[in-house]
Structure 1
């Protein structure tokens, strides 16, 4: 593998001065330095010997067995350059799309509170929570297919189709009077429609930036926090003033109109020059990816618990009003916006994986140290602030980690593969928490549910640390 100087020159097509000369023995020593060649643009990998195929094959053979090479070529789908004004227009379009797709899902806690306390008081918490859980799970399953479709069809059209389905789903849900029908409309149908803007809005921003990728992704993904914040407050107000049916109709019309309006800018910049496989299963050969996927499962499992349970917890345990409980979700969504932006701003300098680990520590502390032992208004506000900030940063940096470690060209399908982890996390999160609340806490004692919730970010942290150890054992290094 090494030449006579013991060095390998890797040329990446991202502009000038991109030659990276790395000691060959560093590439495999402790699996620390360059562990894969990421497919970040067309003609991604060439070598100093006029892109000699022999040297490329030698490089591949010299890597550890569990490290795989990503795709080496990708085609540009547009003549628009990265990092320009058009790229920021794409970021804004992704922000709006995520604001409505994930933001509405984040606001489900208000519906959960309304169903539990007013509309379906005889139903168990676990049954009611399945409406929101179905919404998220179908979004994840649909995301697997959406990632594949985004690589083969115009994402602008796919985004528009998703917008129409989202709107129809909520308008149809407004006429439903049973939990079962709400699962079909508010849950299944809406999740299917939202999967298109979800996967596109998550994966597209990274393709349009080479210099401020973390910041751009953080801004785009802040849309989900913005949506969760204003949708939580707006949904509570609409239900109180107009009733649940008209609240859903208004939500459906707004979501459909807004996502349709920005769909012309929802376009990919790179498409892979590779196979027609639905999912890039070769990624499961990469030990780093396996650690990342397992960590993601636990992170997503922890994500929705506080959003779903804090509104009713505020009423039943702290004896606050329903509006106060809804405001706690609004506050948490607001802090998640700050977390997304701060982490996005720092990711390019500090390293996205480093920040993902740090934010998971903060999430674990907020639940395990603050919420588990205390039942006071002050500690709940502290949990709201710390967890909201931390989990917002976690969500925003996940696509950046995927892009940095595994490459850009097939990022939509890699994100689609990660949605298997999102799906598993959805099953591992809210349903068991709700079952514990029903069967152990008898719908009023949240201790067992909160303790279970608190252990999830701890488990995620363990696997993130293992992933980082595989990449490098040096502490003060950007990863």
Structure 2
């Protein structure tokens, strides 16, 4: 008798738990729910996760690292290849390249959500290398613009967004750590590429310099394609305009977009103009050409600080030994971004605007590079913190689209300010500092809206 009651109870329970026909049909016709199951518990480590991080490091090295070296080209084009054109006109090459790098996400982020990283990496890699090869044989302004600022940049953008979305799917608690490691590749690229270009142009000429860069990038692409993959289940779905509009109805996300767009107006101006500005103050061309490398080297220290809690190496400064245990995943991503962006703006007013010696300019390059490193490292982590993981591609693309507009117009505006200032850089420096400080203030406001005034890990 007890056995019979138990069986009856079990059958009754199973009958209640068994879904009806409509529910069962919904379960079988909703594959995206599998994606939710797959991404609810990211491993936050393991062989595959760290291989994706390694591949993403190489992706940012060859994509963003190349973009970080554009200051060398601004100076070279002004003095050699495109000396018939104004600084403002030449600045459109760098600003358009960064615009395409960021702005492509409005489409490429959705492509990632639908199809995953594979085709983005293959097609984007080809476009990046092909564009640089075409740049190597370019002589006219329009040729350089089309090959370097459009073709190569679109390819780099595809590589960038494929890896951002993939990396986010493997980490949650350690997301800033993973992004910090990957983003350090952009800074190492920003150290290697400017020095490489500066040395090779004098020895083998512009054409073979660009080809050497393209071959280095091609080698990195092999590693990227072998290691980067996504945990998400990617299936094409209908595209609706409300998918792009919905994130902007959320106040924290909207404030983040506005704040980072404002900050971006000024962020890239030191990278693009510090080499030329330093030479107007009497710095030798050989030393000035290393300023972009210094910017990126110290940015690398910051990004590695975000990634590693304890660092024991003689190549880092004392700050690199103290800060790692205090920031990012431990202290809070919004907290670190608030401080780093604010200090970046203050440094621009305090040192770049007022300093006129070689020492002052080098100090600015080092400290600005260090603190501005938070932008590349933490922006993807902040987006992921405010977004459902299944929408990471489209939300990243939407934010970076507005950032790209600021980047596109920032450098030409700065070039025009140099012309108005009769070849001096004071107006440019004020513009850069003001926009970065305004953006930093809104980052702080975003943090307050999200977490209130009390100190918390956010």
**CA–CA distance in structure 2, aligned partners of residues 296 and 339 of structure 1:** 19
**CA–CA distance in structure 1, aligned partners of residues 304 and 435 of structure 2:** 24
1:188 and 2:169 equivalent? no
Q: Provide, for residues 20-43 of structure 1, a one-character-per-residue CA deviation record: whole Å limited to 9, x for no partner.
A: xxxxxxxxxxxxxxxxxxxxxxxx
Deviation at 1:73, TM superposition (A): 6.3
Check whether the contact 2:55–2:227 (CA below 8 A) recurs between aligned residues.
yes
Deviation at 1:160, TM superposition (A): 1.8
Which one of 435, 441, 452 corresponds to residue 462 of structure 1?
Answer: 441
Deviation at 1:267, TM superposition (A): 1.5
Residue equivalent to 1:167: 129
**CA–CA distance in structure 2, aligned partners of residues 341 and 72 of structure 1:** 34
Residue equivalent to 2:57: 95
Q: Give TM-score, length-normalised by structure 2.
A: 0.84
1:113-262 alignment runs, 5 A limit:
113-262=75-224
Secondary structure at the residue paired with 1:478? coil
Unaligned runs of 5+ in 1: 1-49, 51-70
Residue equivalent to 2:301: 338
**CA–CA distance in structure 2, aligned partners of residues 281 and 295 of structure 1:** 18
| Matched residue count | 407
1:416 and 2:397 equivalent? yes
Deviation at 1:79, TM superposition (A): 12
Residue equivalent to 1:364: 345
Q: Provide, for residues 341-377 of structure 1, a one-character-per-residue CA deviation record: whole Å limited to 9, x for no partner.
A: 2234521111100100010111012101111122121
Residue equivalent to 1:281: 245
Which one of 421, 426, 429 corresponds to residue 441 of structure 1?
Answer: 421
Unaligned runs of 5+ in 2: 1-16, 18-32, 309-326
Residue equivalent to 2:432: 453
Q: Give TM-score, length-normalised by structure 1.
A: 0.81
**CA–CA distance in structure 1, aligned partners of residues 136 and 96 of structure 2:** 17
Check whether the contact 2:39–2:389 (CA below 8 A) recurs between aligned residues.
no
C-alpha spacing 1:73/1:193, structure 2 compared with 1 (3 Å): closer
Deviation at 1:81, TM superposition (A): 4.7
Residue equivalent to 1:321: 284
Deviation at 1:192, TM superposition (A): 1.1
C-alpha spacing 1:201/1:303, structure 2 compared with 1 (3 Å): farther
Check whether the contact 1:272–1:409 (CA below 8 A) recurs between aligned residues.
no
C-alpha spacing 1:80/1:292, structure 2 compared with 1 (3 Å): closer
Residue equivalent to 1:36: none
**CA–CA distance in structure 2, aligned partners of residues 78 and 242 of structure 1:** 52
1:347 and 2:328 equivalent? yes
Secondary structure at the residue paired with 2:389? coil
Counting helix residues as a fraction of each chain, which structure ranks higher? Answer: 2
Residue equivalent to 1:37: none
Residue equivalent to 1:39: none
Deviation at 1:82, TM superposition (A): 4.5
C-alpha spacing 1:235/1:147, structure 2 compared with 1 (3 Å): same
Deviation at 1:427, TM superposition (A): 2.6
Check whether the contact 1:313–1:446 (CA below 8 A) recurs between aligned residues.
yes
Deviation at 1:271, TM superposition (A): 4.1
Secondary structure at the residue paired with 1:366? helix
Secondary structure at the residue paired with 2:422? coil
Secondary structure at the residue paired with 1:139? helix
Q: Provide, for residues 226-268 of structure 1, a one-character-per-residue CA deviation record: whole Å limited to 9, x for no partner.
A: 1111111111111111111111111122212311332132212
Check whether the contact 1:271–1:409 (CA below 8 A) recurs between aligned residues.
no
* Bigger Cα displacement from structure 2, 72-81 vs 196-205: 72-81
Residue equivalent to 1:57: none
**CA–CA distance in structure 1, aligned partners of residues 307 and 405 of structure 2:** 26
Secondary structure at the residue paired with 2:152? helix
Residue equivalent to 2:14: none
Check whether the contact 1:221–1:396 (CA below 8 A) recurs between aligned residues.
yes
Check whether the contact 1:140–1:420 (CA below 8 A) recurs between aligned residues.
yes
Check whether the contact 2:124–2:156 (CA below 8 A) recurs between aligned residues.
yes
Q: Provide, for residues 289-333 of structure 1, a one-character-per-residue CA deviation record: whole Å limited to 9, x for no partner.
A: 11100011022222210011111112122x222221111110110
* Bigger Cα displacement from structure 2, 254-263 vs 284-293: 254-263
Check whether the contact 1:83–1:211 (CA below 8 A) recurs between aligned residues.
no
Residue equivalent to 1:295: 259
**CA–CA distance in structure 2, aligned partners of residues 272 and 287 of structure 1:** 28
Q: Give the root-mean-square deviation of aligned CA atoms.
A: 2.2
